[in-house]
Amino acid sequence: MSLESGRKLGLTASLITVIMPIIMVISLVFFIFSIIAAIPTGPNPVPVPTTFSPLPFFGLIITIALAGIISFVGIILFIVAMHRLAEYYNEPGIFKNTLYAFILNIVGGFVVAAIEIVLLVASIGSIQSIVSTPQVSTPSAFNPLFTQLIVEFIAVFAVALVFGIVSAVLYMRAFNKLAEKSGVGTFRTVGLLYLIGTVVPIGGILVWVAWILAAIGFHSLKPSSTSTFAYSTPQATAPSIAQKRYCPYCGRENRANAVYCGFCGKQLP
């Protein structure tokens, strides 16, 4: 499998992962400023509903949706790139760890979503039971519910964190194996930053920086001497000049393996 194709796909995937958050942040800032600009000012302000336009809101939703789709495409390109690099360097661990991490992210997302739905339904049922009972529907009656919501939030966050850490460890192992086989040490830093960024509270910035370094690493990939096979062509050996034997009796030349002289017939020493 070509190193060049894996390198280009990895570089493209990394750039997509770096650029998409920037586009989303710019869209969010533009949306906020459009809302602020729609608020009337002056001595006789016009009511907000007459000047507010829903276009910025729909533009933000469309931008986020497109950015999400493009980001998912970038993840697929990254997986394909790691598969091709794994075949080029003859190291299955590069692709397997990447694939396992991707599958774990999907499974973790479904698990967290299912837990959130179950807890939300349970919370709605608790609220309805409190509201439907007038004698207990006091502010103090909602205190246990608030405590339950906080505990549920911590539980969901812990489950998501466990899935994220295990996935980050797998990604780090994939990057470490790629660094080992390619000789590009930047990938080790990528894996470490990705893992730290998954654990710390403001780790999104570290993960974003990790993908910048990943783009640099993919751009730095060069053909490896260990991945190509050099076939040595057997060199023809010059025919050895046979030693000549001379007969001590008649002085004639004979073959090297001659036992008797071909001219005088005497035995050669």
145-159, 185-199, 221-235: the lowest-pLDDT one: 221-235
Please indicate, yes or no, whether residues 117 and 214 belong to a single structural domain of this protein: yes
- Is residue 232 situated within a structural domain? no
Which are the contacts of 195, defined by CB distance < 8 A and separation ≥ 6?
A: 165, 168, 169, 171, 172
Please indicate, yes or no, whether residues 94 and 179 belong to a single structural domain of this protein: yes
CA separation, residue 73 to residues 67, 78, 101, 143, 170 (Å): 10, 9, 16, 45, 20
Looking at the chain, how many residues does it have? 269
Average pLDDT over residues 67-79: 92
Q: How many domains does the chain have?
A: 2
**pLDDT by residue (tens digit) across 206-217?**
999 999 999 999
Please indicate, yes or no, whether residues 137 and 265 belong to a single structural domain of this protein: no
Distance, in Å, from the CA atom of 12 to the CA atom of 61, rounded to the nearest integer, reads 25
- Is residue 206 situated within a structural domain? yes
**pLDDT by residue (tens digit) across 144-178?**
666 777 877 888 888 888 999 999 999 999 999 99
Average pLDDT over residues 195-219: 91
Host domain of residue 199: 3-219
